[in-house]
Structure 1
Amino acid sequence: MNKNVFRYLDTRAAHITFIVAFFILILPESPLLLIHVLFVYAAFAACYIWMAAAPKGWWDAKRYAIAVCVLAGITVIIRTVHFDYPDHRIFWPLLYMLGVADARWNRWTVVLAAVTVCMIFGMMMVDGVSYGALIAAVLMYIAVRNQNLLREADRTNRKQLEQLNAAYSELQQTTVQAMGYAALTERTRLARDIHDGLGHQMTSLIVQLQALKLMIPKDTLVASNSVDEILKVARKGIDEVRFAVKEWSDDEKGLGPIALKGLISQIEANSLVRIQYKEIGPIGEWPVECSVILYRILQEALTNILKHADASQVDVSVEEENEHVKLLITDDGNFRSEKPLNFGFGLSGMIERCETAGGSIAFSSNSPKGLKIQAVVPLDISSSTPD
C-alpha cells in the first residue's frame, strides 16, 4: 500500500482518538444516572468521528458550513428541552475539526471557527462566563490550525521536491540525448570530410595509376616521375585516414570532447560566428557527469554570445590537468572591463553547476574586448562533491 495511504490513515486515527478521549474526559461523574446526557454526548461524538473519518476530498466550504449549522441547530433544540446540557465544551471538537480542515478551505473554516467561538461564548453567557476556558478553546484551534498548515506545507514541499527531482532527471537525460545528437553531428561531419577529402584523393590516385599504366610502355622516364606524385597523393590519403581513425577512436571514449565539437558545429552552421576549437595536450575519457556539465556550460556560454555579445570570433580550448578539465571560452564581443557583468539566470546557472560539482568558474575581460570564461571541473565529480 502507498505510504500516503498509511499517513492518511494515521492522521484520521489521531483525530478520532482525540475526539474519543475528549468526550471521555467531559463525561459527568455518574454518566449512567444521566442517561440522556450520555446519549447526547454519544450522538455528538459519533458526528465528530464521522467528520474525521470522511475522506478529506469529500469536504468543501459548503459542507463545512452545513455541518456547523446542523450541529448548532441540534444544540439549540437540545438546550431548549434540557437547559443545562450540553455545555459549551460540546463545540470544542468542532473547533478541532475546523482546525485540521484542508488548507484549500482555509478562509471559510476560519470564518466558521469564529462563528463557533461566538456560539461557545453565547453558551457561556447563559451558563457562566469562563474566560480561561474561552481562551483555551481559541488557543487549541490556533495550535491545531498552525500544525495542520505546517503539515500541509511539508507535504507540498515534498511533492514539489519529487517533481523537481523528476524534472532534473529528465533534464539530465535530455542533455545526454542532446550530447548524443551533437556527437552524431560531429560523426557526420567526419564522414563527409572523409568522403570529400579522401574520396577525391583516391579517385585522383586511380586516374593517375591508369595513366601510369599507359605511360610505362611509351615513356619510362615520365612514368617514373609520375610515381613520385602518386606516392604523395597516397601518403596524404594515409594521413587523413590516420586522423579520421584518431577522431573516431576519441569518439568511442565517450560523449565529452566529441559532443563539444558537435555543438560547435551546430552553432557555426546556424550563425555567422566563427568558432575555433582546440585541445591542449592529450584528452582522455570523461565520465558522463563531467561531460554533461561541460557541455551545458559551453552551450550556455555560446547562447549568451549569440544573444548579447555581437561577436564574430569565439575560441574554445579544452585541457586536462591534475584530474581536472579546464574549459576556456573567449570571444571578441562588446563586453569591456569598465562595465559590470550582468549575472543573469544563465551565468548564475553556470556558476551553480561548477560549484555543485566541486569545480570553479571565473569571468574576466578579454583583451582588447570581449569576455573570457574559464571553467574547471573535476573528472571524478562524486569524490569532489561535498556530502
Structure 2
Amino acid sequence: MNSKSIIKGRGAQLNVHNRFFELSHEQRDDFLEYCHKEGEEPNKNKTLYLPVFPKTIVNKVTSPDVGMMYSMNMYQGCEHGCVYCYARNSHEFWGYSAGLDFERRILVKKDAPKLLEDLLKKKSWKAHTIVMSGNTDCYQPAEKAFEITRQCLEVFLKYKHPVGIITKNALILRDLDVLKALAKDNLVSVNMSITSLSEKTRRQLEPRTATSAKRLKTVKTLSENGIPVNVMLAPIIPSINSHEILPLAEAVSEAGALSIAHTIVRLNGAIGEIFTDWIQKTMPDRADKVLHQIESCHDGRLNDSRFGTRMRGEGKIAEQINLLMRLARKKYFKDKSMPKMNYTLHEQYKDGQLKLF
C-alpha cells in the first residue's frame, strides 16, 4: 500500500463498525477522490478531550486470570494507539468506534480524585490494591494536561492505601516524589510495559508511546529510587516480537526490574478487524504468516475468550513462547521477586491522618 495512505501517528487505520449501532457509515472511494482533488483532508487527525462524569471510579475485576481485584481508569480511550490493545472494545460502550475513535476521542474523568477519596473514606472499605490503568494508560499524553493520575496518587498517599500502576510512558517519572513517599511504606508497585527493543517495531505497534530506550531508563530510575518494577513483555506477537523475549528479559533485568510477565496476543472483538487491516497495510510481506501464527495459538482463531488459555495460548508456537519466558525468568530473575504490598496502614488513616486512639 502507498505509504501516503497510512495515517501517521496512529495505530488503527480505520474506524470499524460499533457493534451496538444499527446503522454504520463508510468513506467511499469517490468521496476520498473528491477530497484528494480539492486538497481537503477526509479526516481531521486531531485528538479531542471530552469530559465525562461517572458516579464511581473503582471497578471490581471478576476475570479469574487477571492479576488484580480492583482497577480504575482516569481516561477512556488512549492516544498511545497500540494497535493490538484489548481495551479498544470498551470504547464501543461509550458510543465510539474501537478503531481511530479510541485514539482520537479521549474521555476525561476529572472527578476521579474525589470519587477515589470518597471510596477510601468509607467505613466498609477494606484495603486492597487498586490498579491504575486496568484498561487504558493512566500516563497517556492527556495526563500532561490534566494531571488526574498525580492527584489520585496523592489521595492514595494521604490515606496510606496500596496502589498498582500499569504504564508504558516515561511521564511516570514526573511523579517520582509521590511514588517514593508511597514506596517507603510498601504502598506502590509499577508495571512497565515494554514490547520491543526495536524502535521500528515500537513505532509501528505503539505509535505515540515513549521510546523503548526511555522506558528502560524509566525502569532504571524507578528501581534506583526504591520503587519495585515488574515489566510486562506483552503482548508477545509471533514473528513480530517473539524473537526478542530473551534480549528483552536481559535488558529489563539489568535495568533493575524485579520480575517479568507476559501474554500472547489475542485479537478479541473488533480488534481482529483492526489488526488485520493494519498489518496488511504496514507489513504486507508477512501479514498472512503473522495472522496464521496467531490463529495457531488460539485453536484456529484470532481470539480465544476461554479463561486459563486466552492469555497463554496453546499449540506449538505458544508452547515455545511460554518455555522461553520460563527460561528468561530462570536465567535473569532467579533471585528476584516483587515485594508484598502493605495493607495494614489504611485503616489507621481512614480520615486522611493517623488515628492516635
What is the TM-score when the length of structure 1 is the normalising length? 0.22
Greater relative CO (CA pairs within 8 A, separation 6+): 2
Larger radius of gyration: 1
